[in-house]
Chains A and B, each alone.
Chain A
Amino acid sequence: AQSVTQLDSHVSVSEGTPVLLRCNYSSSYSPSLFWYVQHPNKGLQLLLKYTSAATLVKGINGFEAEFKKSETSFHLTKPSAHMSDAAEYFCVVSGRFNTPLVFGKGTRLSVIA
């Protein structure tokens, strides 16, 4: 079975400082991993995706994530937070073949001016 754990329900950073959103996964298969972002009153949008190619994945809006198999982690980072980054972020792992995705509970990112 697949599962994903987002280690922080809320992260608060100052504008211009680095962002780290943590995610650990469990999968019986070689996983595909994703980060989605949800801005207030909006649907979820794909930030980036890992599918067994390069372990460091670059996404939109300056975000990137590194797949670390030894640590079963897929943490999301950004060097410098912007006010517009304030949103809910979801770490997602692919399910077994031919089933939909498994979502984490989400991490709410607040950016302080």
Chain B
Amino acid sequence: IVLTQTPLSSPVTLGQPASISCRSSQSLVHSNGNTYLSWLQQRPGQPPSLLIYKISTRFSGVPDRFSGSGAGTDFTLQISRVEPEDVGVYYCMQSTQFPWTFGQGTKVEIK
């Protein structure tokens, strides 16, 4: 399964929203009815960390300015108001089917 993220780079003004799209080459709905799509954040020089799983569930400690949505093959990560600590690369990832795959990554930077 190929995941295509757009845009690949997103210069954003502090306090403004940002949106990242992730499109899958095939449906991510598992035979059990669940959709295994997650979003990870990788800050500069750090390992990735889980932001959102099951399309829209925020992981423990993740600020509510992050939200996920979508279904089937089209998914979106939204940051309602970008903060300085949000700078980094964001990846969508599917775990519906082996091999698990990641999108190419979207770099969020401050204008």
A and B co-occur in one complex:
no
B residues engaging A (CB < 8 A)?
none
Residues of A within 8 A of B (CB): none
